[in-house]
Structure 1
């Protein structure tokens, strides 16, 4: 167990900022906005790594250095100790980021979230006339 945690420090890191369309290159985005996804979470990235059969560890207590309010990062391993790839389709960190950004919009959590948002916006619309009444005072 101890040796595994020591090896974990050698694993690569992906911060959600790297594949977020809402961020600029100066803010830390590493792939083009056309290929990036909107506001990815560590859990979603972890699920994608799991789907791609890439060993990973989610570190929710860690923060992105350029913006310490951005919490969480994912450590992952692309190669075995002998240097061979764990997933032959993914040979670099950039390829992994592109694949993960492709998969996140199809994530099962995203599909469920989109439906309640439509109902929530209707409820929010009905509360607006009440707020207008308060302003007349």
Structure 2
């Protein structure tokens, strides 16, 4: 290679819409609804790829062709120059999508956002109805 800059043009393209549970298959979702996650971002996907030790690069200036308002995508390198896999557990882009969709809901930035509303709803729902109810005669 020519120094530090890898040729990311050959890397796999990963749009957030591929694993978005809010999208239909016609809108671009590529994995099952049960395994998809809600509104993933490029940063979350890139962080998950880093966690899986797979090289990646975020391209913010790119848009998804079916929905050009959806900005950003992540380029991922599944194989090294010699053809071996970066992560032996991920041999295809489908496996990568499933792994990332599983990790995104546990992303540190996402778990902090979800904690705030859940604590207030837990306090509101703590009143329990009394035992027994009304007796019939």
TM norm. shorter chain > 0.5: yes
Q: CA deviation at 1:4?
A: 5.9
Aligned to 2:81: 81
Partner of 1:64: 64
SS class of match (1:71): strand
1:115 Cα offset (Å): 2.6
Shift of 1:117: 3.9
CA distance in 1, matches of 2:14, 2:95: 12
Q: Where has structure 1 moved over 3 Å in runs of 4 or more? A: 1-6, 116-121
C-alpha change, 1:119 and 1:106, in structure 2 (3 Å) is closer
Q: What is the match of residue 94 of structure 2?
A: 94
Give the distance between the partners of 1:29 and 1:120, measured in 2 at CA.
33
TM, length-normalised to structure 2: 0.81
1:24 deviation in Å? Answer: 0.3
1:49 equivalenced with 2:39 (yes/no): no
What SS does the corresponding residue of 1:82 show, helix, strand or coil? Answer: coil
Taking structure 1 as the reference length, the TM-score comes to 0.81
| In structure 2, distance between residues paired with 1:65 and 1:118 | 36
Which residue is 1:133 aligned to? none
Query: How far off its partner does 1:60 sit?
Result: 1.1
Question: Does residue 1:105 correspond to 2:105, yes or no?
Answer: yes
Give the equivalent residue in structure 1 for 2:20. Answer: 20
Aligned residues: CA RMSD: 2.0
Higher helix share: 1
How many residue pairs are counted as aligned between the two chains? 121
Secondary structure at the aligned position of 2:83 is classed as coil
SS of equivalent to 2:95: helix
